Amino acid sequence: MSRLTDAALRFRAQLLRQERAAASEMVRAYAATWRRLRAELDQLEQQIAEAEAAGLTVGPFTPRQPGGPVLPQAPGTFSVSWVHRRERLRTLLAQVERELRQFAALASDLTEAGQLQAVQAAQANAQALMTEAARAAGAPELVGMFNRLPTSAVEELVGLASDGSPLRELFEALGERTGRGVREALETAVATGMGPRETARLVRQQFGMGLSRALTIARTEQIRAYREASRRTYEANSDVLDGWVWLSAADSRTCVSCLAMHGSVHGVERRIDSHPNCRCVMVPGVKGAPIEVTPGEELFAQMTPAQQDAKLGKAAGAAYRAGAVKLVDFVGVRRDPDWGDSRYVKSLRQVLGREEAQRWMRKAQQQKTWQVVSKKIGELTDRKAVLSLGELPTRTYQALRHQWPSSVTAQVVLTGERRAHYLERHPEMAAFEGKLMETLFAPDEIHRNKRDSQIGIWYRRLNGSQYIRVVVWVSDTPGLQNSIHSFRLADQREIDQGHKQKRLVWAKK
C-alpha cells in the first residue's frame, strides 16, 4: 500500500471514529427514551391485566365505517377500540410522539455537528492527500500550490440531506413513521391477546427500527458531506488533478459492489454514488501519474473459494469461478430523482436470468450434498460398513446402461473394506477424498476397463495433467448396488491410452 492510500485510509478511520462518537450519544438518548416509554407501557399492560382479571376477554375488533355508528362490543369482551377509549393508551401514544420529536431534534443537531466537523476535516485532508499525490507523482513544485475553497462553499452542505432537504425534516418524518409502527404494534398485541413480555418485545422492535434508521441517516449524511467537500476541493484543482480513485477498505466487511469499484478511476466532476453506510473514500490523482491501487476484481480473484462464496453466495461463487460472471456484473445502480444514484449488489438472477441462475443454484445445492457425503466417507472406518453415495445422474446412467445393458441400478455405494483398501495402497488419496463425489457424479469421462467387462472407470481433471480416477463395479445382480472398487490419481497418458484403445464410454460435452 502506498503512502497516499495509507493516508486516505487513516483519514477515513478518523472520520468513522467521529461518526461513532455521535452514534453512541444517539444510542444513549434512544435508550433513555425507551426506558421512559417502558414505564408507560407497563401501566397499559396493568390496565389490560385488570380487565382480564375482571373476567373480560379479547373480542374481535370491527373498525367503524366513516360516518357510521360506534359498533357495540360483545358482552364480556374488550377490544382495541375499548383500549383506545382508556386514557392510558392515549397517554402512551402521546408520549411516543413527544419523545420521538425530541429525539429527531437531537439526532438532527448531532448529525449537523458531525457534518460540520466532516467538511472541515475534508478540507484539511484533501489538501494533505493532494500534497501526497504530488510528491508520489514526482511533482514537488505543486506542493503548497493547490487551491482552497472558501469556507462557505463547503459549509453549505451542513444541515442538508443528499436530496437537498433539511436534515431535521428527514428525522421528523422518521419519527412519524416510527410512531405509527409503535401504535400498530400495540393494537396487534391487544387484538391477539399477547402477554406483557411479547407486547414489550414487539413494541421495542418497532421502536428500535427508528434508531437503526436514524443511525444510518446520520452516518450516511456525515460521510456524504465529507466526500462532497473533498470532491469540490478536487474539482477546484482540476487543472492539475486527473480525477480520483475509488478506495474501499477491501476487507471482509466490504460489499461486492464496493470491492468491484475499488481501484476504478473517475473524473473530479463525478460524485461517489455508493450506498447507505458505505465506508469508501476518494483518493486524488495528479495528471500523468496514475495511482497504483490493485483493482478489486484482482483482489477478489486472489481470495479462496470459501472467501468468495462468503461474499457472493455459493451459487454465484461457483458461477464466477467457472467464468460465467465477473465481479463487476454484480454492481447495480439505482436512480432516484431526489436521492440521485446509489449502488447495490445484484442477485445472480438479475445478472444471469432466472433459468441460468437456478441452474447454478442447483449445482450449489449439489455441492453441499457432496460435502455432507464426503464427510461421511472420511468417517467410514468400519470395514463391514456400507455407505450409500446416491444415484448416478440420468445423463451418465443412460450411457452406463448403453455400455452395460445388464445394469440394474443407478445407486452407488462405498464399503469400509474398499476404502481401507485404497487408502492402504494409495495413502495420498486421503487428501483427495473430497473429490471422490465430484468425480463420480460430475465426471469428465467414463471408460470401460479393458480386462473386466463389469468395471467402469470415472475420470475428472484435477489440474493440467492429473486426473482423479474412480473405478466402479457395475452391478448386474438384483439386490446389489454399484460399488466403488478403487480410488487413485491418473495422468494424461492413461486418458490418451483409453482413447486409443476405444474404451471411451461417455465424455462431458
Residue 438 banded pLDDT, cuts 50, 70, 90: very high
pLDDT of residue 196: 63
Residue 145 banded pLDDT, cuts 50, 70, 90: low
Q: Any bridge partners for residue 341, and if so which? A: 335
Which of these, 208, 207, 214, 212, lies nearest to 173 by C-alpha position?
A: 214
Q: Any bridge partners for residue 333, and if so which? A: 343
Domain count, the chain: 2
Question: Residue 31, exposed/middle/buried by CB under 10 A (0-12, 13-18, 19+)?
Answer: exposed
Q: Is the pLDDT of residue 55 over 70?
A: no
Model confidence over 389-413: pLDDT tens digits? 999 998 889 888 888 888 889 999 9
Distance from C-alpha of 496 to C-alpha of 493, rounded to nearest angstrom = 5
Residue at which a domain ends, from 204, 219, 238: 238
Which of these, 477, 328, 320, 324, lies nearest to 411 by C-alpha position?
A: 477
pLDDT of residue 506: 94
Model confidence over 191-222: pLDDT tens digits? 666 666 677 778 778 878 888 888 888 888 88
Residue 444 lies in a domain: yes
pLDDT of residue 209: 82
Residue type, 237: N
Residue at which a domain ends, from 206, 221, 238: 238
Residue 20 banded pLDDT, cuts 50, 70, 90: confident
Number of H helices, E strands in the chain: 16, 14
Question: Residue 217, exposed/middle/buried by CB under 10 A (0-12, 13-18, 19+)?
Answer: buried
C-alpha cell belonging to residue 246: 475509488
Q: Any bridge partners for residue 490, and if so which? A: 467
Model confidence over 354-395: pLDDT tens digits? 999 999 999 999 989 999 999 999 999 999 999 999 999 988
Distance from C-alpha of 404 to C-alpha of 450, rounded to nearest angstrom = 14
CB 456 within 8 A of CB 448: yes
- Residue identified by cell 479462496 is 304
Residue 224 lies in a domain: yes
DSSP per-residue letters across 17-29: HHHHHHHHHHHHH
pLDDT of residue 218: 85
Residue 70 banded pLDDT, cuts 50, 70, 90: very low
Residue 280 lies in a domain: no
H helices present in 137-195, as ranges: 151-155, 167-191
Residue 295 banded pLDDT, cuts 50, 70, 90: very high
Residue 285 lies in a domain: no
- Residue identified by cell 365505517 is 65
Residue at which a domain ends, from 217, 238, 259: 238
Residue 369 lies in a domain: no
Q: Is the pLDDT of residue 264 over 90?
A: yes
CB 164 within 8 A of CB 172: no
Q: Is the pLDDT of residue 307 over 80?
A: yes
Question: Quick one: which H or E segment has residue 457?
Answer: strand 455-461
Average pLDDT of the segment spanning 45-74: 57
Average pLDDT of the segment spanning 498-504: 95
Question: Quick one: which H or E segment has residue 401?
Answer: helix 394-403
Residue 303 lies in a domain: no
Distance from C-alpha of 27 to C-alpha of 37, rounded to nearest angstrom = 15
Residue 397 lies in a domain: yes
Average pLDDT, the chain: 84
pLDDT of residue 337: 64
pLDDT of residue 68: 53
C-alpha cell belonging to residue 470: 474412480
pLDDT of residue 57: 55
Q: Is the pLDDT of residue 160 over 70?
A: no
Instruction: Domain of residue 106: give its range.
Output: 3-238
pTM: 0.72
Residue 92 lies in a domain: yes
Q: Angle at which helices 305-312 and 314-321 pack, to 10 degrees? A: 130
